[in-house]
Structure 1
């Protein structure tokens, strides 16, 4: 990995090599052999490597994925994911998580209290399909032992057998906010949170019965390299690149001019040795390609 002081700014061009369906929204999630993305109609889509639709799941009827409280407006939005074989989909809302089969039938669901961030805004739980098995990992908000609290205090990872529709195990998972990053192996997860002043990020290797934090950063996890050794995070919008072998992370903004008018966005690994990050200035967006 080069010294950040040696990084040079160069012009580059990009060519469109594939284009997905136009009725999608949000950022795609990388899985083995393709991508998951949400539709503008709240459906969950599985795209192949050429960004063609391999499977589409509508949100299940009768399942409230918005959530509401007596003195607050209804909260919009949810998170969704499709298994890599296209057999299952899961939807995580603010007060409910549900998994469905290929015919849209609900195979498992649960209700839960609201989870709130440092600004008291509600956000949904999270769902992950580990590779090579008919299981769902649902990160479910849990109230804990304080009955006076009206919201969840932490998250638990529930392992669900989708073929039988039952919970196999539950494990404490701490606290993290939306933006779960999962490696395509379905075993390494990046989670982050913020208290408004500091940002916190963990990279955790999960097994069926245990969890091991393998790296920490004062930044929000954004992407994982497919070599499973490098990670990308965003420290208040600026890219940070680290390794799980303990090497010091590279903070590219250390070599940027203070007068740089751009705010770097989240980004992703574009190739083995390159990271693509958007640079925003008001309503205009450019992209920077970083050599890592």
Structure 2
């Protein structure tokens, strides 16, 4: 079945590709949907609701503390008062005026054991490996994936006010990179660690103010953490090589599985359009580009409802669902961000909202 996409908004947003092709999106669970865009040595915060309402310009901007460091997953506090940067040798909180609020030092993500540093904090060592960080939705703590002085990796919980370490969890990983996703209950946090050809590790944990409780889901998994249900009904993952999508309970149990349509492969660009609907993309195959596209699925069963068709032809890039019944695509040729909703089409006739 075909599902026609209805254009809701279009706005210019240079650099907005990272919003749909990556994890530069925060705040969906705490009332402020924001794009975190990097460029020119700054991290800019764009309020999507204001942007689509016609209010141009970023709502906040933070100077990157290490201009030569272009990696890491960064985060911004819910009130926009500070940003937390995941650096090569430290996690640093920076205020809107560029001042350092606090810094948490850790080992170097550079891959050479025992390599010297010149003493210049701006020095960037060879390698692309990096961690990530995330401010909790209540703004009280910062979760960070770091490497220790012992060259082992850790998941730490830091006090957001002063950077003091509250808890740490040793990790059995050798990361190329990572990203965090917060749970809408405001307590749990997910961490997805990519290790290149060695696979994906997935962890969930909770911090109750006194104790860190974590569970390792990697004995039977090699999956990318893609999105969390807005109504606490589990989370969505993609198999490392796109073989299937899977809906899980928080303890990791599989609730539903979807294999790709037309023998294609699922991309990691997927998530919850709303409480009842998932949007997912299939990878553009060089031998058969018709296999690429966007698909809407039932959020409980993962049954495919149909392929999305767009007014100006097929869209094969990544998507960013917003959780309110709409999703985003980005046209890199024009620097334009498009917001869509969907209506089912049955035998060429509009039916009901998808």
Determine if contact 2:94/2:100 at 8 Å carries over to the other structure: yes
Number of the residue aligned with 2:3: 12
1:26-82 Cα shifts (integer Å, max 9, x gaps):
23323122124222335323333416332222213xx3662xxxxxxxxx4232211
Aligned to 1:228: 232
- SS of the equivalent of 2:46 reads strand
Deviations 1:200-220 (CA, angstroms, capped at 9, x unpaired): 322222333323346736122
1:136-215 correspondence to structure 2 within 5 Å:
136-144=142-150, 152-162=151-161, 165-174=162-171, 175=173, 177-193=177-193, 196=197, 198-213=199-214
Q: 2:269 aligns to what SS in structure 1?
A: coil
Q: Which structure 1 residue ranges, 5 or more long, are not aligned?
A: 1-9, 67-75, 145-151
**Equivalent residue for 1:77?**
71
In structure 2, the CA distance between the partners of 1:133 and 1:200, relative to structure 1 (3 Å rule), is closer
Which residue in 2 is equivalent to 1:39? 38
Whole-Å separation in 1 of the counterparts to 2:77 and 2:3 = 35
CA contact (8 A) 1:25 1:37 kept: no
Contact 1:65–1:77 (8 Å) recurs in 2: no
Larger RCO, structure (CA 8 Å, separation 6 or more): 2
Q: TM-score, normalised by structure 2?
A: 0.63
Give the conservation status (yes or no) of the 8 Å contact 2:152–2:170: no
TM-superposed deviation, 1:122? 4.3
Q: Are the structure 2 counterparts of residues 136 and 214 from structure 1 closer, same or farther at C-alpha, using a change threshold of 3 Å?
A: closer
State whether residues 269 and 275 of structure 1, in contact with CA within 8 Å, keep that contact through their aligned partners in structure 2: yes
**C-alpha contact 1:278 1:288 (8 A) present in aligned 2:** yes
Equivalent residue in structure 1 for 2:59, among 54, 68, 71? 54
SS at match of 1:249: strand
**In the superposition, relative to structure 1, how do residues 11 and 206 fare at CA in structure 2: closer, same or farther (>3 Å)?**
farther
Question: Structure 2 CA distance, aligned partners of 1:156 and 1:262?
Answer: 31
State TM-score, norm by structure 1: 0.74
**Aligned partner of residue 3 in structure 2, secondary structure:** coil
**Which structure 2 residues correspond to residues 238-257 of structure 1 after superposition, within 5 A?**
238-244=244-250, 248-253=254-259, 256=260
> Which of 25, 29, 44 lines up with 2:25 in the alignment?
29
Q: C-alpha distance in 2, partners of 1:137/1:248?
A: 26
User: Are the counterparts in 1 of residues 184 and 231 from structure 2 also a CA contact under 8 Å?
Assistant: no
Structure 1 residue aligned with 2:350: none
Q: How does 1:255-270 map to 2 (within 5 A)?
A: 256=260, 260-270=263-273
How much does 1:85 deviate?
0.9
Partners of 2:106 and 2:215 in 1: CA distance = 29
1:277 to 275, 280, 284: 280
Partners of 1:273 and 1:186 in 2: CA distance: 21
Aligned-residue CA RMSD in angstroms? 3.1
SS of alignment partner, residue 133 of structure 2: strand
Match of 1:286 in 2: 293
- Equivalent residue of 2:49, what SS? coil
Q: Is the 8 A contact 1:95 1:112 kept in 2?
A: yes
* Number of residue-to-residue matches in the alignment: 258
Q: Secondary structure at the match of 1:50?
A: helix
- 8 A contact 1:201–1:216 mirrored in 2: yes
Q: CA deviation at 1:194?
A: 5.5
Q: Deviations over 1:66-104 (max 9, x none)?
A: 2xxxxxxxxx42322111111111111222321111212
